[in-house]
Structure 1
Amino acid sequence: MDNQQLQEADLEGYSWLMQATAENPWYGLLAYIAIVILAILVFNLGFARELPILKKVVVYIMLIIGCFVLWLMEFAFGAPIIVVLIISALILAIYRYRLYRHREEKKEG
């Protein structure tokens, strides 16, 4: 019992992801996968252009490698990377929807 309390006391100053990963090591991997998926979504909504397949593969590989740095910032420092990516995806999705609606109205009128 004292050993468990000691671990909880030691984890008190760590980030939420580090605490969750101490309880279940799979949470760290799931957080990394979530960051990769959200980063790909944000990239596609805001910045992607039509590229040849080989260039697209290189871009996504570099994106996956770069997401490790984002995961490390979330894990070690507690930076709200996942939340920022969710908010970015929502804002870009709203922008794309409004742009689509504007183009449709322009086409009709």
Structure 2
Amino acid sequence: MNENGNSLEEQFYLPVEKYFLMDIGGTEGFWLLFITVAVLAMITYKLGFAKKLPLMKSIIVYALLVFGCFMLVIFAIGGLPIAEVLIITSLVLAIYRFRLHRERKGED
């Protein structure tokens, strides 16, 4: 315990990870963190990097993306701000896409 009454383990996690791993806890917290990271990674991919692909190729790309999210969750449990970075990245790409759409709409 420190002077704030928090244990060392509670201080180690960032807000999103702390909520899922400490407040919810157990395997439910892990899976909710995984789903959050996977959905945010998919949004980031779709907003910034996705190209129009045939259905089967898209399924393969998203399956590999979900598989790679296991490693990101392990990094998040280790203390890296994975979920927070994905939230910020998604917001920045959404703003960029919105402004690009508005600019292209204005040219027509």
Residue identity over aligned pairs, in percent, reads 36
C-alpha displacement of 1:28:
1.3
Map 1:1-109; keep pairs closer than 5 Å.
11=9, 14-15=12-13, 17=17, 21=21, 24-25=25-26, 26-75=28-77, 77-107=78-108
C-alpha distance in structure 2 between counterparts of 1:49 and 1:65, whole Å: 20
In terms of Rg, which structure is larger?
Answer: 1
How many aligned positions are there?
Answer: 99
Greater shift, 18-27 or 30-39, is seen at: 18-27
Q: Structure 2 length normalisation: TM-score?
A: 0.81
Q: Structure 1 length normalisation: TM-score?
A: 0.80
**Deviation per residue, 1:59-82 (Å, 9 max, x gap):** 00100000111100001x210000
Long gaps (5+) in structure 2: 1-5
Give the secondary structure class of the aligned counterpart of 1:78.
coil
> RMSD of aligned C-alpha atoms?
2.1
